Amino acid sequence: MSRIRNLAVVGAASVSALALAVSPASAATTTIHSGSITGPAYSGAVVATNLGDVSVTTSLSNATCTSAIQNGTVNSDGSNLTVTSATFSGCTSSLGAVTVTAQNLPWAGGSVVYSPTAGGADGTLTVANYTVGATVFGLSCVYSGTLTGSGYNPDNPTRPDTSVAQSQAKITNGVVSKKSGSFLCPATATVNAAYQLVGAGGEQLWASS
Protein backbone atom coordinates (compact mmCIF):
# COMPACT_ATOMS: atom_id res chain seq x y z
CA MET A 1 0.00 0.00 0.00
CA SER A 2 2.75 2.47 0.96
CA ARG A 3 4.56 1.66 -2.28
CA ILE A 4 1.53 2.58 -4.34
CA ARG A 5 1.04 5.76 -2.35
CA ASN A 6 4.57 6.90 -2.95
CA LEU A 7 4.28 6.02 -6.62
CA ALA A 8 1.23 8.25 -6.90
CA VAL A 9 3.13 11.10 -5.32
CA VAL A 10 6.11 10.75 -7.62
CA GLY A 11 3.83 10.43 -10.61
CA ALA A 12 2.50 13.80 -9.68
CA ALA A 13 6.03 15.01 -9.05
CA SER A 14 6.84 14.41 -12.65
CA VAL A 15 3.83 16.42 -13.50
CA SER A 16 5.38 19.28 -11.63
CA ALA A 17 8.53 19.29 -13.47
CA LEU A 18 7.50 21.70 -16.03
CA ALA A 19 5.22 24.25 -15.33
CA LEU A 20 4.60 27.84 -16.33
CA ALA A 21 1.61 29.97 -17.32
CA VAL A 22 -1.04 32.21 -18.95
CA SER A 23 -4.26 32.69 -20.82
CA PRO A 24 -3.97 32.53 -24.63
CA ALA A 25 -6.68 35.16 -24.92
CA SER A 26 -4.37 37.92 -23.68
CA ALA A 27 -1.17 36.77 -25.41
CA ALA A 28 -1.65 39.31 -28.25
CA THR A 29 -0.49 42.15 -25.96
CA THR A 30 2.81 40.42 -25.17
CA THR A 31 6.21 40.58 -26.88
CA ILE A 32 9.11 38.25 -26.08
CA HIS A 33 12.55 39.86 -26.51
CA SER A 34 16.07 38.47 -26.71
CA GLY A 35 19.02 39.98 -24.80
CA SER A 36 17.18 42.86 -23.12
CA ILE A 37 13.70 44.27 -22.69
CA THR A 38 14.34 46.45 -25.75
CA GLY A 39 16.07 43.72 -27.74
CA PRO A 40 14.75 42.12 -30.93
CA ALA A 41 11.56 40.11 -30.82
CA TYR A 42 12.29 36.46 -30.12
CA SER A 43 10.44 33.49 -31.57
CA GLY A 44 11.81 29.98 -31.32
CA ALA A 45 13.31 27.47 -28.92
CA VAL A 46 13.09 27.82 -25.14
CA VAL A 47 14.72 25.67 -22.45
CA ALA A 48 13.25 25.47 -18.93
CA THR A 49 15.47 24.14 -16.12
CA ASN A 50 14.38 23.77 -12.51
CA LEU A 51 15.84 26.00 -9.79
CA GLY A 52 15.99 23.82 -6.70
CA ASP A 53 13.94 20.71 -6.04
CA VAL A 54 10.47 20.19 -7.43
CA SER A 55 8.07 19.35 -4.62
CA VAL A 56 4.80 17.44 -4.99
CA THR A 57 2.28 16.70 -2.26
CA THR A 58 -0.80 14.47 -2.26
CA SER A 59 -3.27 13.43 0.41
CA LEU A 60 -1.08 10.38 1.04
CA SER A 61 2.54 11.50 0.82
CA ASN A 62 5.09 13.75 -0.90
CA ALA A 63 8.09 13.48 -3.22
CA THR A 64 10.84 15.53 -4.87
CA CYS A 65 12.71 15.61 -8.19
CA THR A 66 16.16 17.21 -8.27
CA SER A 67 16.27 17.75 -12.04
CA ALA A 68 13.57 18.71 -14.53
CA ILE A 69 14.42 19.96 -18.01
CA GLN A 70 11.91 20.84 -20.71
CA ASN A 71 12.53 21.96 -24.28
CA GLY A 72 9.96 23.79 -26.32
CA THR A 73 9.07 26.72 -28.56
CA VAL A 74 7.13 29.96 -28.25
CA ASN A 75 6.01 32.69 -30.65
CA SER A 76 7.26 36.25 -30.18
CA ASP A 77 3.76 37.35 -29.12
CA GLY A 78 3.75 34.78 -26.32
CA SER A 79 1.33 32.45 -28.06
CA ASN A 80 1.63 28.74 -28.82
CA LEU A 81 4.01 27.83 -26.01
CA THR A 82 4.70 24.17 -26.81
CA VAL A 83 6.80 21.61 -24.93
CA THR A 84 8.48 19.19 -27.34
CA SER A 85 10.54 17.13 -24.88
CA ALA A 86 10.80 16.73 -21.11
CA THR A 87 13.13 14.73 -18.86
CA PHE A 88 13.09 14.18 -15.11
CA SER A 89 15.72 12.69 -12.83
CA GLY A 90 16.63 12.41 -9.18
CA CYS A 91 12.99 11.71 -8.33
CA THR A 92 12.69 10.01 -4.95
CA SER A 93 10.18 8.95 -2.38
CA SER A 94 10.54 6.91 0.79
CA LEU A 95 11.00 3.92 -1.54
CA GLY A 96 13.98 5.42 -3.38
CA ALA A 97 14.39 6.14 -7.09
CA VAL A 98 11.33 6.30 -9.36
CA THR A 99 11.16 6.26 -13.16
CA VAL A 100 9.40 9.35 -14.49
CA THR A 101 8.45 9.82 -18.15
CA ALA A 102 6.70 12.50 -20.17
CA GLN A 103 3.70 11.32 -22.20
CA ASN A 104 1.57 12.58 -25.10
CA LEU A 105 4.17 15.06 -26.32
CA PRO A 106 4.13 17.69 -27.68
CA TRP A 107 2.19 19.64 -25.07
CA ALA A 108 0.73 22.44 -27.16
CA GLY A 109 -1.64 25.28 -26.33
CA GLY A 110 0.35 27.13 -23.68
CA SER A 111 1.23 30.82 -23.62
CA VAL A 112 3.16 33.67 -22.00
CA VAL A 113 1.44 36.89 -20.98
CA TYR A 114 3.04 40.13 -19.83
CA SER A 115 0.91 41.59 -17.03
CA PRO A 116 3.18 43.18 -14.42
CA THR A 117 2.15 43.62 -10.81
CA ALA A 118 3.75 46.35 -8.69
CA GLY A 119 6.30 44.71 -6.39
CA GLY A 120 5.57 41.29 -7.87
CA ALA A 121 5.69 39.19 -11.03
CA ASP A 122 5.98 40.51 -14.58
CA GLY A 123 3.32 38.17 -15.91
CA THR A 124 2.22 34.57 -16.15
CA LEU A 125 2.97 31.46 -18.21
CA THR A 126 0.89 28.38 -18.98
CA VAL A 127 1.87 24.86 -19.97
CA ALA A 128 -1.22 23.12 -21.29
CA ASN A 129 -1.89 19.41 -21.82
CA TYR A 130 0.90 18.48 -19.43
CA THR A 131 0.94 14.68 -19.04
CA VAL A 132 3.51 12.67 -17.07
CA GLY A 133 3.63 9.23 -15.52
CA ALA A 134 5.79 7.46 -12.94
CA THR A 135 6.55 3.81 -12.34
CA VAL A 136 7.97 2.02 -9.30
CA PHE A 137 7.95 -1.73 -8.65
CA GLY A 138 5.74 -2.23 -11.70
CA LEU A 139 3.01 0.13 -10.46
CA SER A 140 2.11 3.25 -12.44
CA CYS A 141 0.16 6.48 -12.09
CA VAL A 142 -0.40 9.16 -14.74
CA TYR A 143 -1.32 12.79 -14.02
CA SER A 144 -2.34 15.50 -16.46
CA GLY A 145 -3.51 19.10 -16.51
CA THR A 146 -2.55 22.71 -17.00
CA LEU A 147 0.05 24.27 -14.69
CA THR A 148 0.08 28.03 -14.19
CA GLY A 149 2.87 30.07 -12.66
CA SER A 150 4.16 33.60 -12.18
CA GLY A 151 6.74 34.87 -14.68
CA TYR A 152 9.69 37.18 -13.94
CA ASN A 153 12.09 39.14 -16.13
CA PRO A 154 15.85 38.67 -15.46
CA ASP A 155 16.12 41.89 -13.44
CA ASN A 156 12.99 41.49 -11.30
CA PRO A 157 14.11 41.70 -7.63
CA THR A 158 11.27 39.38 -6.58
CA ARG A 159 12.22 36.53 -8.92
CA PRO A 160 12.64 33.12 -7.21
CA ASP A 161 16.46 33.00 -7.44
CA THR A 162 18.10 36.45 -7.54
CA SER A 163 21.53 34.86 -8.12
CA VAL A 164 20.37 33.75 -11.58
CA ALA A 165 20.05 36.58 -14.12
CA GLN A 166 17.58 34.82 -16.38
CA SER A 167 13.85 34.89 -16.94
CA GLN A 168 12.16 32.73 -14.31
CA ALA A 169 8.82 31.16 -13.49
CA LYS A 170 7.38 29.95 -10.20
CA ILE A 171 4.55 27.50 -9.66
CA THR A 172 2.84 27.79 -6.29
CA ASN A 173 0.33 25.14 -5.26
CA GLY A 174 -0.40 24.10 -8.83
CA VAL A 175 -2.95 21.29 -9.06
CA VAL A 176 -2.93 18.40 -11.55
CA SER A 177 -5.39 15.51 -11.80
CA LYS A 178 -5.10 11.75 -12.10
CA LYS A 179 -5.57 10.56 -15.67
CA SER A 180 -5.02 6.83 -15.21
CA GLY A 181 -3.46 4.23 -12.93
CA SER A 182 -4.27 2.34 -9.76
CA PHE A 183 -7.39 3.23 -7.80
CA LEU A 184 -4.98 3.96 -4.95
CA CYS A 185 -3.45 6.91 -6.83
CA PRO A 186 -4.72 10.17 -5.27
CA ALA A 187 -7.17 12.11 -7.44
CA THR A 188 -5.02 15.27 -7.40
CA ALA A 189 -1.50 16.42 -6.58
CA THR A 190 -0.15 19.84 -5.57
CA VAL A 191 3.03 21.09 -7.22
CA ASN A 192 5.57 23.70 -6.09
CA ALA A 193 8.59 24.52 -8.26
CA ALA A 194 10.69 27.26 -9.85
CA TYR A 195 12.43 27.37 -13.26
CA GLN A 196 14.78 29.49 -15.32
CA LEU A 197 13.93 30.08 -18.99
CA VAL A 198 16.51 30.74 -21.70
CA GLY A 199 16.70 30.74 -25.48
CA ALA A 200 18.24 27.80 -27.35
CA GLY A 201 21.63 29.56 -27.35
CA GLY A 202 21.39 30.65 -23.73
CA GLU A 203 19.92 34.06 -24.59
CA GLN A 204 18.21 36.05 -21.87
CA LEU A 205 14.48 36.25 -22.55
CA TRP A 206 12.37 39.24 -21.56
CA ALA A 207 8.66 39.97 -21.76
CA SER A 208 7.05 43.35 -22.35
CA SER A 209 3.85 44.81 -23.76
pLDDT above 70 (res 184): yes
pLDDT tens string 199-209: 989 999 999 99
What does the pLDDT average to over 16-21? 38
Residues 187, 36: Cα–Cα separation, whole Å: 42
Q: State yes or no: cis peptide before 40, omega within 30 of 0.
A: no
pLDDT tens string 34-46: 999 999 999 999 9
Per-residue model confidence (pLDDT) at position 132: 82
The whole model's pTM is what?
A: 0.83
Per-residue DSSP letters for 97-112? E-EEEE-S--EEEEEE
Task: Please indicate whether residue 36 or residue 12 has the higher confidence score (pLDDT).
Answer: 36
Domain-wise residue ranges, the chain: 2-203
Q: What distances in angstroms separate CA 34 from CA 29, 46, 76, one per listed residue? A: 17, 11, 10
pLDDT above 60 (res 7): no
Say which residues have a Cβ less than 8 Å from residue 164's Cβ, sequence separation at least 6: 51, 196
What does the pLDDT average to over 102-119? 94
